[in-house]
Amino acid sequence: MKLAGELKSFQDRLGYEFVRPELLVEAVTHSSVSTANRDDNQRLEFLGDRVLGLVMAEALLVSDDKASEGQLAPRFNALVRKETCADVAREINLGAVLRLGRSEMLSGGRRKQALLGDAIEAVIAAVYLDAGFEPAREMILRLWGKRVHEVEEDARDAKTALQEWAQARKQQPPEYVETARSGPDHAPVFTITVRLDTGESEAASAGSKRQAEQAAAAALLAKLESRS
């Protein structure tokens, strides 16, 4: 099977040349364009998520042989979460080679965080199936680069940190409420407000509810910590 020019260029950005190029084609095929004769990347994404997790768990153990499980777990989550995967996908312009259905293309699918994050995991699985664990590991560590060594000492996401802050003070978990939505249907902007039992609150806006929740939690944490 011969690859189109755009996929050949993508292989250069990826730093890996496929022996079985059909695996790469499957990895960049979204479910919105799959057919009975064309597989999408969902099964590969399932496998790639596990390969990525193993590589990152091993890398974290090697990089800090004194860290406890409690320290390693949030660092691991920071490295494998969808936002990080999507950032890596953007750096190699994975969105440009995705095979999408018309509706996904019109709704900005090439820029969607969840779609990009799933696709990079599918590409990881494709490399793993094409050449085995070591080439996949080498590629992952190269693409993630300094992230592995520079992951924050306390890498808990803001929502987790805020919930632990509230629990430590015997408060109920923070409440997240969507207070506004703007923008076109294909690129909405959500405003989320987070509130504590004490009445403290902060709001933030982002292109997904999850991102807005994290931003609001981070803002409220910053306010609370500035008063301590």
Closest CA to 44 of 34, 56, 36: 34
Distance (Å, rounded) from C-alpha 119 to C-alpha 182? 27
* 127 DSSP assignment: H
Scanning the structure block, which residue is given the tokens 């990079």? 120
Q: State the catalytic residue, choosing from 39, 49, 87, 138.
A: 49
Angle at Cα 74 formed by Cα 213 and Cα 82, nearest 5°?
55
124 residue type, one letter = I
39 classed as catalytic: no
Q: State the catalytic residue, choosing from 45, 104, 118, 121.
A: 121
Distance (Å, rounded) from C-alpha 63 to C-alpha 57? 10
49 classed as catalytic: yes
Active-site annotation, residues = 49, 121
